[in-house]
Amino acid sequence: MQAQLIALDWGTTSLRAYKLAAGGQVLNQRALSSGIMQLPKGPRLIHGEACSDGFELAFHDVCGDWLDAQPELPVIACGMVGSAQGWREAAYRETPANVASLGNALETVRSRRGTEVHIVPGVIQRSTLPNVMRGEETQVLGVLHSLPDEAAGDLLIGLPGSHSKWVQVAEGCIERFDTFMTGEVFAVLSEHSILGRTQQRGQGFDAAAFDRGVQVALSVDGDSGPLSTIFSARCLGLTGELNAAAQPDYLSGLLIGHELAALATVQRRRRKAMALPAVLLIGNAGLCARYQRALHACGFAQVTLAEQATERGLWQLAVAAGLVRPAAIPSPSMEL
C-alpha cells in the first residue's frame, strides 16, 4: 500500500513516528527517545550541511528516509512539540473541541529540507482552575471518531500517565476534563522522598500489594486524603507487614486508589446519580491494566481498552485539515 501521511507523536521524553496509508492504516512505525526535553545534539551533517538544531536532527532521524523516498508526503505532529518549549507553539483551543476545530487550527513549521510540519494545538478548559492538555486531545478524538453515537453517549475516557486525564465527551467533542498528577507524584515520592529509601523496585507486579493500597485509599482511613495515608508505605515496611519489593506497588495502588475515589465522587456529583459511567482507557497496556483493576474496585463496572488512538486521531485531524483524503477507517480494537 502507498503511504499517504507521516504522523508524529512528539512528547516530552519520546518521539513516535507512523507512516500511514489510506484510512490511517499503519505501514511502519518507529520510536526514539528524542522528546523535546532530550533532543539530539549537533552539529551533524544532514544532506551535506552542518546542523545543530535538535528538532531538525530528531525529525531527520525519525522519518528522514521516509521523506527521501516520498518527498511529497504531508507531515502532522501532536504533543509537546507544539508547546512554548516546542518546535513551534500551537495555541490552545478552548473546549468544546472537536476534530474540525483542531484540524482547522494547525500551526506550521517548515523544516530545513522544505517539508512543512503541521502541528496540532492543545486544548484549554477555562474555569476557576483552568486545565490544559496537549497530545491527549488527539488520542481522545481518534477513538471518539470511531465509536458509534450510542457508545459515546455516557462515556468517560481515561488516559493514565504522569498527568492522568479524565475526559467527558458529548456529540463528538471534548467537553471537559480533569487532571490528576498521580504518576509524577509516584515518581517524586519513590525517587526523592524517604519512602523510596526502603523500596526495592523492578521485581515484577505485586497484585496483592497493589490491591491493598487501593483498599486503604477506599477505607475510612483514606477519607482524609492521600497526605494522611502515604506514610503508611514506610510504616508497614518498618513493622514487617510489607516487604521492600511490595512497597512500590502498594504506593502505586494507594495513589491510584485516591485518584479514582476522587474521580468517582466528582462523577456522581456532576451526574447527580450514584451510577458511574462506562470508562474507555487509552495508554500503556501495563498501566491501563492497573487502572482497570482499580476502577473495578472503585465501582466503575464497565471498563474497556482502546488501541491505536494516536495514529487514528492524527489521521482524522489530517483529513479535517485537507492534508489527506478521507477514507473508511477500521474500527478500533477493544478488549473487555
pLDDT in tens, 193-235: 999 999 998 889 999 999 999 999 999 888 889 999 999 999 9
Using the predicted structure, report yes or no on whether residue 33 has a pLDDT greater than 70.
yes
Helix axes 247-271, 207-218, angle to 10 degrees: 40
Rounded distance between C-alpha atoms, residue 311 and residue 8, angstroms? 8
pLDDT in tens, 140-181: 999 988 786 666 667 999 999 999 999 999 888 999 999 999
Return the percentage of the chain with pLDDT > 90, whole number: 87
Residue 327 has what pLDDT? Answer: 67
Using the predicted structure, report yes or no on whether residue 77 has a pLDDT greater than 90.
yes
Average pLDDT for residues 75-86, to the nearest whole number? 97
Residue 69 has what pLDDT? Answer: 96
Q: Pick the closest to residue 313 from 156, 99, 53 (CA basis).
A: 99
117 forms beta bridges with 75, 109
In the predicted model, what is the mean pLDDT of the chain? Answer: 93
Count of beta carbons in the 10 Å neighbourhood of residue 112: 15
Average pLDDT for residues 263-272, to the nearest whole number? 94
Q: Are 23 and 93 in contact (CB under 8 A)?
A: no
Length of the chain: 336
Which residues lie closer than 8 Å to 84 by C-beta, 6 or more apart? none
Residue 149 has what pLDDT? Answer: 64
Longest C-alpha distance within the chain, in Å? Answer: 66
Using the predicted structure, report yes or no on whether residue 239 has a pLDDT greater than 50.
yes
Does the N-terminal peptide bond of residue 96 adopt cis geometry, omega within 30 degrees of 0?
yes
- Global pTM reads 0.90
Average pLDDT for residues 128-137, to the nearest whole number? 96
Q: Which three cell numbers stand for residue 286?
A: 501495563
- Hunting for cell 529540507 — which residue is that? 113
Average pLDDT for residues 94-109, to the nearest whole number? 96
Q: Are 39 and 57 in contact (CB under 8 A)?
A: yes
Residue 92 confidence class, pLDDT cut points 50, 70, 90? very high
Residue 336 has what pLDDT? Answer: 37
Higher per-residue pLDDT: 153 or 94: 94
Using the predicted structure, report yes or no on whether residue 335 has a pLDDT greater than 70.
no
Which residues lie closer than 8 Å to 30 by C-beta, 6 or more apart? 16, 17, 62, 63
Enumerate domains of the chain plus CATH numbers: 5-134+310-335 (3.30.420.300), 181-301 (3.30.420.310)
Which residues lie closer than 8 Å to 240 by C-beta, 6 or more apart? none
Residue 329 confidence class, pLDDT cut points 50, 70, 90? very low
Rounded distance between C-alpha atoms, residue 308 and residue 124, angstroms? 24
